[in-house]
Amino acid sequence: MVETPAGPGHGAGAGRTAAGVGAGAGRSGGGLALVVADAERLLADALALALTGRGYRVRATATTRNGLLRAVLHHRPDACLLDLHLSDGRALDVIEAIHRAVPTTRILALSREADPGVVEIAIEAGAAGYLSKDRGVEALDRALRRITAGELFVEANLTLEARQGRPAPGGRSLRWLTHRELEVLRRLTEGDGTVEIARALDMTTNTARTHVQNVLDKLGVHSRLEAVALANRLKTEQRSS
């Protein structure tokens, strides 16, 4: 079973988490409900235990993208902590899925990567914060309090690196596009308009229009035709390299 509810009768690790709720009540967590996801079950359970000791209510832990999404849809927590590398693959796509399905759940991405491009993509996909896994529980607690208060949290050094590392307009790299933006670009290359893109990707026309504009901005072009021409050229260059 992928999802592990954090409650009595669900294993030793979950039992410790449940028992810690009373002990941690009134601490910094303030009873906020969480779902925790990490590629390794032991780490997910250990993190849940540590956060419960600080007054958070960990509703479930997960190790896969599907398990995480199911847990969030079921519990609709105040916040979700997720490792960007879960056991069944990279979790950037599931950030966007969670943000669309349960926009009230604030997402904190955890990773050992300090790549400014990954930070930008995670935030653009819907994460409310990004924290290095090298940091301790104090930093995690601080980040959770910030994002659940409605703020965006990215460590200062990562923010600086992201600003310095982001390509200028015309940087012309597809790696800056999110998975959804790549889908939008593919639809553009197939000749789809805004209405067709919205229908195919199950979104409103306004959302589709926003995604198209984001694609143009990131590619440093001014029209859909330019975006299509650039995408085709970049693909040709990748095949020949």
What tokens does 82 get?
């997720």
CA dihedral 136, 127, 158, 173 (to 10 degrees): 140
Short-list 97, 56, 65, CA closest to 83: 65
The Cα–Cα gap between 103 and 91 comes to 17
The DSSP letter of residue 154 is E
Least confident of 52-56, 79-83, 205-209: 205-209
Under a CB-based contact definition with an 8 Å cutoff, are residues 71 and 64 in contact? Answer: no
Residue-wise pLDDT tens digits, 199-235? 999 988 888 888 998 888 888 888 887 788 888 887 7
pLDDT band at residue 20 using 50, 70 and 90 as cut-offs: very low
Domains (range + CATH), the chain: 4-165 (3.40.50.2300), 174-240 (1.10.10.10)
Predicted pLDDT at 105: 96
| Contact between residue 147 and residue 153 where contact means Cβ atoms under 8 Å apart | yes
Per-residue pLDDT tens over the stretch 118-173: 777 787 788 888 998 889 999 999 999 999 998 888 876 555 444 444 444 444 56
* Predicted pLDDT at 101: 93
Residue 61: closest CA among 16, 96, 31, 118:
16
